[in-house]
Amino acid sequence: MAETMFERRDFLRGLAALGFAGALPVPALARAAGGDWPLVQALLDSLAPAKLPGLAGAIGKETAPADFLFAGTIAKDSPVKVDVDTLWRVYSMTKPITGMAAMMLIEDGKLKLDQNIADFIPGFAAPKVLVDPEKSLETRPAKGPITVRNLLTHTAGLGYSIVTKGPLLDAYHRLGILPAQLSRQKMPGAPDFPTAPSLAEFADRLATLPIIADPGTKWSYSVSLDLLGRVIELASGKSFDAFLQERIFDPLGMTSTYWQVPASEAHRLVTNHFAIAIGLIPIDPGATSIYLDKPAFPFGGAGLVMSARDYDRFLLMLAGQGAVEGKRIMKAETVRLGMSNLLAPGVDTAGTFAEGQGFGAGGRVTIKPTPGGQGMGTYGWGGAAATIAWVDPTRGIRAAGFAQYMPDSAFGFPKEFAKAVYADLA
């Protein structure tokens, strides 16, 4: 998730660097399109179509209806304009949804925050820790169990194919611990191994592998939210995707949220790109997307395709402390707990996405705010294809930004979107 530490003048300089603002005076920018969010609209317009085909933003104050902002089209070769129902690969923005699903089961009494996951998956009864993760698979017994809290906060000692190194990465590839999909094309450097064929098989295979640190001691970005999907289905007695549909998607009216995009809706799906020095390369065109195929299983860490309208419905529920338009799906105290810092004291976050901040149920939590940026208790996360979303209860806003390119640092959209939101709010 992008940082939002900035000053308004820095953001205006950034627009100039993108070739949009030039010598345009601030009062003229303030009269730009975008209603209450002219700087956000200016950012979108500066990127599309000059640099990216299309982008979108959804921003709401407290629990008021969101303002939706758009620029461009769903693909460079398409006349179809981005709108509120355009479909985006949100990748890791799936994680907070999975995290809140687990919080529901904690509320139901079917899970406990500090419960040993071996109660559901016996293979994790005696986890082993790597002695030297980057060099060998030599292990020692872990000093404690892997808990639900550990899975929610990336402190289970698990790895991820995008960050793990050494022989453990080779083992992840060999066993199909690859809970994500990118393209039908063979991408340079991408592992040539199939993902485990089911969520149950994924969890059981993962249980045979060592972990990289004692549970609860180190923040390590990981497949923990995917594994949590298996815990959710065992605790609930329902398949993971059915549980989310019944408890979150249907009650919130999230009718454009998919693990597999129906062929009838492919016309709404944006093209995803890889950014290189000479420009954008389409890696997953909407019309022929890999997301039109059924995934190996619902990836709780990176699997959803959604509209801006639907993701805002989820954020609206969080902003409403579990209720939307009079319909309550979670207790307020459950939402507050899930959006709070759940890291145990002393967890090592140095050099990670969570450095200097807290972490809640699948999303980062701001515990060190700065003037002009996210307020205390801001909760949210971003996605690999340059999407970002958060709820800021202190500043009274919720926001989500959507682009579709990798790596997300290429154009800096997530970070600049967050800066623009707070510049407009100021």
| For the chain, domain boundaries | 8-93+243-425, 111-236
Q: Which residues contact 38 (CB under 8 A, 6 or more apart)?
A: 29, 30, 31, 32, 424
Whether 204 shows a pLDDT value over 90: the answer reads yes
What's the CATH code, domain 8-93+243-425?
3.40.710.10
Phi, psi of 92 (to 5 degrees): -70, -5
Taken in order 22, 28, 29, 34, is the CA torsion positive or negative?
A: negative
Whether 18 shows a pLDDT value over 60: the answer reads no
**Mean pLDDT of the 335-340 span:** 98
- Domain 111-236 grouped into CATH 1.20.58: yes
What does the alpha-carbon distance between residue 146 and residue 133 come to, in Å, rounded to a whole number? 18
Give the chain's mean pLDDT: 92
What pLDDT does 146 receive?
Answer: 98
Confidence tier at 140 by pLDDT (50, 70, 90): very high
Cα pseudo-dihedral 368, 372, 376, 377, rounded to 10:
-110
3-class secondary structure, 346: coil
Whether 4 shows a pLDDT value over 90: the answer reads no
What does the alpha-carbon distance between residue 372 and residue 284 come to, in Å, rounded to a whole number? 37
What does the alpha-carbon distance between residue 9 and residue 252 come to, in Å, rounded to a whole number? 38
Helices marked H in 320-376 — which ranges?
Answer: 332-338
> In sequence order, what DSSP letters do the residues of 17-80 get, joined into one string?
HTTSSTT--HHHHHTSSSTT-HHHHHHHHHHTTTTSSEEEEEEEETTSPPEEEEEEBSSTT--P
User: What's the maximum distance between 2 C-alpha atoms anywhere in the chain?
Assistant: 64
The pair of three-digit structure tokens given for residue 265, joined into one six-digit string = 């809706």
Phi, psi of 281 (to 5 degrees): -110, 120
Cα pseudo-dihedral 58, 59, 60, 65, rounded to 10:
-30
3-class secondary structure, 96: helix
Whether 157 shows a pLDDT value over 70: the answer reads yes
**Mean pLDDT of the 232-245 span:** 98
Question: Of 126-135, 183-192, 292-301, 417-426, which gets the smallest average pLDDT?
Answer: 183-192
Whether 7 shows a pLDDT value over 80: the answer reads no
Whether 242 shows a pLDDT value over 70: the answer reads yes
Cα 361 to chain centroid, rounded: 12
Residues 386 and 403: beta-carbon distance below 8 Å = yes
What pLDDT does 34 receive?
Answer: 64
> In sequence order, what DSSP letters do the residues of 370-381 get, joined into one string?
-TTSPPTT-EEE
What pLDDT does 176 receive?
Answer: 97
What pLDDT does 22 receive?
Answer: 32
Whether 288 shows a pLDDT value over 50: the answer reads yes
Question: Of 2-16, 42-56, 206-220, which gets the smallest average pLDDT?
Answer: 2-16
The pair of three-digit structure tokens given for residue 342, joined into one six-digit string = 């759940």
Which H helix or E strand runs over 402?
strand 397-402
